[in-house]
Amino acid sequence: MANIRLIKRRIKSAKNIAQITKAMELVAASRMRRAQQAAVAGKAYAQKIYEMVLDLAPRVDALHHPLLAKPKTLTGSRLVIVIATNKGLCGGLNTNLFRFLGREYTDLGKSNYVVLGKKAAFFLSRMGSDRLVADFSQEIPFVRSVPAMTAMVSQEYIAGRYDGVDLVYNEFISALKQHPRKKTILPLTIEGVDASTHSRINASRHHDMLIEPDHQTVFAALLPHYLENQIRDAILQAEASEQSARMIAMRNATDNATGLMSDLTLVYNKARQEKITYEITDMVTARLGVEQ
């Protein structure tokens, strides 16, 4: 016979877990809506400035813009900005991101890393990589670190220490879908651009655009905002992905706890009925023994 007291304790524990995960789901849903609005609002602007910079880059003199030119001496090392999360309980979001990072950079020791998120710092240290250049995980929210990170990235690239700078983060597609993405932000190149963006850029190059005062001046004014905008957009995308993944994970946890409660309640009722039946049988047996 099952221990009724133990089953009741397990039911109570499952109920408490369901209440906690339900509250966490509601909190994540509220944060997800705000993060989603920020990510969607900034994504169009970030994509447009990305296309404009790629379109104007071939029209200007690269010698006047060190961020345009590839390093004269290749070092074989890249600077990778990895944007993860500080906290867990968001399903397989970080795991999928780190698997993607391992596929894109098969030898983690050949690149240097700047991380946003304690999970990314822990992953790199566990993998034995000693190439962690900077950790901006302490600054909350992450967007506060954008100016300092932009300045550091620009200085390191202009100094010729890296062949390029990449962003690795979770792109927000919808509340149910987030995909790891790699985006090269330095040097400016059309390689790796999706087909639709590539076709729009090529179409614009067939037209002789009239820009005042001139391409050089417009590009010089636009370029300082490019890096900062791309990093900020990646952070907003990653934050929306985190809150969406956490909301779904907590919803699944609540459903699992509720299902466990139902199963344990059924077991409890069976055990209780078994105990009652046993007691009745014992009483009847004792009564028959007295009568005999």
CA neighbours closer than 13 Å in the CB half-sphere of residue 169: 28
Contact by Cβ (8 Å): 158, 67:
yes
As to burial, measured by CB atoms within 10 angstroms (0-12 exposed, 13-18 middle, 19+ buried), residue 286 is exposed
Token pair recorded at residue 134:
């900077």
pLDDT value, residue 195: 44
pLDDT value, residue 211: 63
pLDDT value, residue 84: 93
Cα–Cα distance measured from residue 140 to residue 131, given in angstroms and rounded to the nearest whole number: 23
pLDDT value, residue 215: 66
Contact by Cβ (8 Å): 234, 83:
yes
pLDDT value, residue 198: 46
Q: Which domains does the chain carry?
A: 20-250 (3.40.1380.10)
- In order along its 292 residues, the chain shows pLDDT tens digits of 458 888 899 999 999 999 999 999 999 888 888 888 888 887 777 777 777 777 776 666 655 667 766 766 777 788 999 999 998 888 889 999 999 998 888 877 778 899 999 999 899 888 776 788 888 988 888 888 888 898 888 888 888 888 889 999 999 888 888 999 998 888 876 444 444 544 554 454 445 566 667 666 777 777 777 888 889 989 999 999 999 999 999 999 999 999 999 999 998 898 888 888 887 887 777 766 666 6
